[in-house]
Amino acid sequence: MMRTRSRLLSTVVTAVVASLAFTACGGSTPESTTTQQGPETAPLLRIGSLQEPQSYDPAQANEGHQAPIYQAVYDTLIKREPDGSLSPMLATSWEPSDGNTTYTLKLRDDVKFSDGTAFDSAAVKANLEHFTKANGPLAGTARSVQSVETPDATTAVIRLSEPDPGLPYSLANAAGYIASPSAVGTEAIKTKPVGSGPYTLDSANTVSGSKITYVRNADYWGDKLPFDKVEFQVLTDETARLNALKSGQIDAAVLNRAATAVEAEGAGLQHKPNEVNWEGIFFFDRNGTKLPELADVRVREALTLAIDREALLQAVHLGKGTLTSQTFRPGTEGYDEALDGKYTYNPDRARELLKEAGAENLTFTFPISPVFDPSIYDSIIQNWQDVGVTVNRHQWGPGQAIPSMLRAEYPIAYMALSQRDDWRHTIFQLAPSAPWNPFKVEDPELKGFIQKAQSGDEAEQKEAAKSINNFIVDNYWFSPLYRLQSHFYFTGSVDVEPQTEQAVPSIYNYRPTGK
């Protein structure tokens, strides 16, 4: 009960803060009114990071583990709150028009980059144009951007080639990082970022492959973050991250394996549950191009019912997750709680379905990625063999799994993907052009829903998201097994709020506790 109330409180506070900021109520410091008990500031925050940026050019930025490293130095046009809602940052408002093909952004006029250049609409234009041309990892998220117009210094009009309801989200991620226009596109920015963010890079104390040090940007336009200095220690090895946490050398870090997470709990480290990824079977070849039997929905259903997902969750992930049948995340419009329990273990029914579909002799090759625990594959293959399916194994080498899946080399595979909001989920995994729909499967009914989700008004979009989810679940496009908790652990010296859709929290979500 306590927990529900405090979560409700924090949601209300977030909402109030967001709406205050949205109506531009001056430069108040709303954080001071929250229930934080620690000191206002602390000298140092040390985060254990799995990765380091490939380049500080914001066009080369990636999401996930690298997000906080970029956020420290680059402000985004729009801010993503911990619960996933969007709030103003460099842009104070963003209005769609013409069926979501134009967005008009109103911009702040009091922001300066760390090199002294003023932030204005020309900076937005320079950054977005560079972003679409530089072929970075997330270039696809701004694919719809056709041109940027700058009617005046505080207005930017983004024209799109097709309706894109996901654009505001993209502008809260890599596509929205704004660097100084004098640095955009130069060689120097790859190692020396120039942004308007809360921190600046301390190059002298930054060692490639080891440590990234940020110091406070004294002229920051927004609310100061509580830490004077932030250190990202690059710790690629899981054991090293856990040891650094246990010995107090770092304040927070993400762990990968459930077993390590249990060890962290045993050592008294803290954790707030946050389910980021969904994992399960991808039936890529729903048309039966490579595996004809897979075109029959009864075969996909049989392969789904044959898997004992509960046993897998308990045995491999030590119960740290929630069983599910859908790919949409709780909190999105498409999500329907009733669907979570739809795919239940039933090997007898699976055998029947295979017989009905005339697929008793079903044989296929199941590719195995070194990224996942081998026992996941062993269990699933055992389950399938139990209902009479012949499964051959193919072992992928390091770095081969994703390229192979996206080249449509295998009809069925096991994979984990982040749970996105409705529209980005749709264009990422479901639409005919989606990268995670490698066999380019199309359906007239689904196509209608997708069109509505793309160019409809808000109410139509919500309705369409529900229809899309139901269609996907009813037609067994995937066999999702569970939503897994990310294992992000921290010591008593900080308090951290998890971030929706991110395995690691944003840089704004840390507070000192004074311990």
Partner 1 sequence: MTIFLLRRLLSAVVLLVAVSFLAYVLLYPTAGDISRNILGENATEEQVALKNQELGLDQPLLVQYFAWFTKAISGNLGISYFSSQPVWDTLMIRLPVTLSLVVVVTLLTGILAFAAGIWAAVRKGWVDRTLQILATLGDALPSFIVALFLVTYFAIQQKIFPATGYIPLTESPAGWARTITLPVIALAIGGVAGVAQQVRSATLGVLRNDYIRTVRSRGLSERRIILTSVLRNASTNGLTSLAVQVVGILGGAVVIEAVFALPGLGSLAVEATSRTDLPLIVGVILAVVLIVVIVNLVVDVLVAWLNPKVRLS
Kindly tell me the burial class for residue 408, based on how many C-beta atoms sit within 10 Å of its own C-beta (0-12, 13-18, 19 or more). middle
16 binds partner 1 (CB under 8 A): no
Rounded to whole angstroms, the Cα distance separating 77 from 80 reads: 10
Backbone angles phi, psi at 471, to 5 degrees: -60, -45
Cα-Cα-Cα-Cα dihedral sign, residues 405, 408, 409, 410: positive
The site string for partner 1 over 375-414 (x = CB under 8 A, - otherwise) reads ----------------------xxxx-xxx-xx-------
**SS3 sequence, 186-203?**
CCHHHCCCCECCCEEECH
37 binds partner 1 (CB under 8 A): no
Kindly tell me the burial class for residue 240, based on how many C-beta atoms sit within 10 Å of its own C-beta (0-12, 13-18, 19 or more). middle
Number of residues that bind partner 1 (CB under 8 A): 48
* Residue 275 and residue 484 in contact, taking contact as beta carbons nearer than 8 Å: yes
272 binds partner 1 (CB under 8 A): no
Instruction: Give 210 or 451: the residue with its C-beta nearer to partner 1.
Output: 210
Rounded to whole angstroms, the Cα distance separating 223 from 512 reads: 16
Distance (Å) of CA 264 to CA 104, 175, 176, 237, 260: 47, 35, 35, 15, 6
236 binds partner 1 (CB under 8 A): yes
Quickly count: other Cβ atoms within 10 Å of residue 208's Cβ. Answer: 9
Instruction: Give 70 or 436: the residue with its C-beta nearer to partner 1.
Output: 436
* Segment (H or E) for 291: none
Q: How far is the CB of 240 from partner 1 (least distance, A)?
A: 4
Distance (Å) of CA 66 to CA 50, 125, 141, 145, 416: 8, 24, 17, 24, 18
Instruction: Report the residue from 30, 38, 84, 140 that binds partner 1 according to the rule CB under 8 A.
Output: 140
Strands (E), 359-491: 363-368, 390-395, 412-418, 478-485, 487-490
Rounded to whole angstroms, the Cα distance separating 15 from 229 reads: 29
* Residue 184 and residue 193 in contact, taking contact as beta carbons nearer than 8 Å: no
244 binds partner 1 (CB under 8 A): yes
| Residue-level length of the chain | 515
Instruction: Give 212 or 350: the residue with its C-beta nearer to partner 1.
Output: 212
Which residues are registered as beta bridge partners of 97? 102
Q: How far is the CB of 236 from partner 1 (least distance, A)?
A: 6
* Segment (H or E) for 290: none
Instruction: Give 68 or 136: the residue with its C-beta nearer to partner 1.
Output: 136
What are the helix and strand counts (H, E) for the chain?
Answer: 14, 21
Which range, of 138-146, 277-285, 355-363, 382-390, touches partner 1 by CB under 8 A?
138-146
Instruction: Give 136 or 168: the residue with its C-beta nearer to partner 1.
Output: 136
Q: How far is the CB of 54 from partner 1 (least distance, A)?
A: 5
260 binds partner 1 (CB under 8 A): no
208 binds partner 1 (CB under 8 A): yes
Which range, of 4-12, 21-29, 106-114, 243-251, touches partner 1 by CB under 8 A?
243-251
Which range, of 104-112, 131-139, 287-295, 376-384, touches partner 1 by CB under 8 A?
131-139
Instruction: Report the residue from 72, 417, 496, 503 that binds partner 1 according to the rule CB under 8 A.
Output: 417
Q: How far is the CB of 32 from partner 1 (least distance, A)?
A: 35
Instruction: Report the residue from 19, 147, 210, 314 that binds partner 1 according to the rule CB under 8 A.
Output: 210
> What 3-state class would DSSP assign to 271?
strand
Contacting partner 1 within 428-467 (CB under 8 A) = 428, 435-436
Quickly count: other Cβ atoms within 10 Å of residue 470's Cβ. Answer: 16
Task: Return the exposure string of 315-345: e unless at least 16 CB atoms fall within 10 Å of the residue's CB, then b.
Answer: ebbeebbebbbbbbbeebbbbbeebbeebeb
- The residue among 428, 515, 507 whose CA lies nearest residue 468 is 428
Q: How far is the CB of 371 from partner 1 (least distance, A)?
A: 10
Instruction: Report the residue from 137, 185, 330, 347 that binds partner 1 according to the rule CB under 8 A.
Output: 137
Which range, of 73-81, 147-155, 177-185, 206-214, touches partner 1 by CB under 8 A?
206-214
Q: How far is the CB of 137 from partner 1 (least distance, A)?
A: 4
Which range, of 24-32, 48-56, 160-168, 194-202, touches partner 1 by CB under 8 A?
48-56
Q: How far is the CB of 243 from partner 1 (least distance, A)?
A: 4
Which range, of 235-243, 296-304, 488-496, 499-507, touches partner 1 by CB under 8 A?
235-243
Instruction: Report the residue from 71, 141, 196, 467 that binds partner 1 according to the rule CB under 8 A.
Output: 141
The site string for partner 1 over 154-193 (x = CB under 8 A, - otherwise) reads ------------------------------------xx--
Instruction: Give 404 or 455: the residue with its C-beta nearer to partner 1.
Output: 404
Q: What is the residue type of 55? A: S
Residues that bind partner 1 (CB under 8 A): 52, 54-55, 60, 62-63, 135-141, 143, 190-191, 207-211, 233-237, 239-241, 243-244, 246-249, 397-400, 402-404, 406-407, 417, 428, 435-436
